[in-house]
Structures are given as C-alpha cells and as structure tokens.
Amino acid sequence: MRMLGNATWTAASETDPELACPVSPVVDIVFSRWTTPILWTLNTHGRQRFVELQRRIGRVTPKVLTQRLRQLERDGLVVRTYHPEVPPRVEYEISDLGRSLAPLFAHLAEWAAGNLDKVEQARHDYDSDPAR
C-alpha cells in the first residue's frame, strides 16, 4: 500500500479489482461516451434547450443525448428544468457538482494541447514499424 496525496493505493492483488483504482468510478461517470462533450458544452455555454445542446455537440443522436442527460441528471452533474408552458420548455444546465469538474477538464485540455502531437507521433512510429 502506498500514499499518493490523500488517496491510499492498494495493490490490485490485495483487494477487489474494481476497488484497486480509486478513480475508476469517476472515470466511468465522467468519461463515458458523450458525457465530456455534454458537460463541456453546458459549462462553456450555460443553460440550454435540448436542440441547442444537440446542435453544439454535433454527431450525437437524440436518443443517445437523452440517455446521457438522464444519467448525468441522476448522477447530479446536470440539472433539468421543466417549464410548464405552451409549448412546454425544458432546459439543461451544469450543476455545481458538475461545475466542480472544470479544473479537471482544464488540466486535461492543457495536457492535450501539450501532448497530443506526441501521441500522434508515437502512433505513427508504432504503425510504421515493419517489425509489428
């Protein structure tokens, strides 16, 4: 067992494999397909209606967007507001809990800006190695 910051890490052989990495549940929640673009968009552009959100994200289907928004609402990362008017209006916004992920996304964006070219070069080198 070793300490890293405030987290205690235990060797996988000493514990349940799903508990071996304390960030696994966070990765499952935050980095599921479409979750990051949804949270990023809501954090960047604020409260939006479904169609606005779908337009900004792009290739996501209405069915998948609906499923992800429901899951994010269930997880407490997104707030859904229903306005009982004619026609009814529904808006989505990032919650305070979801907004607390902004520093994580900022660090990831910084890492991406500084390292994605290295990843692409490594992929190129790997793919063009005749020994593979």
What is the dihedral angle through the alpha carbons of 82, 85, 89, 94, rounded to the nearest 10 degrees? Answer: -40
* Digit-coded pLDDT (tens) for 60-86: 999 999 999 999 999 999 999 999 999
Three-state secondary-structure class, residue 5: coil
Tokens read off for 99: 């907004």
Tokens of 11: 């060797």
User: Is the pLDDT confidence value at 6 over 70?
Assistant: no
Sign of CA dihedral 41, 42, 46, 50: positive
Q: Whole-model pTM?
A: 0.75
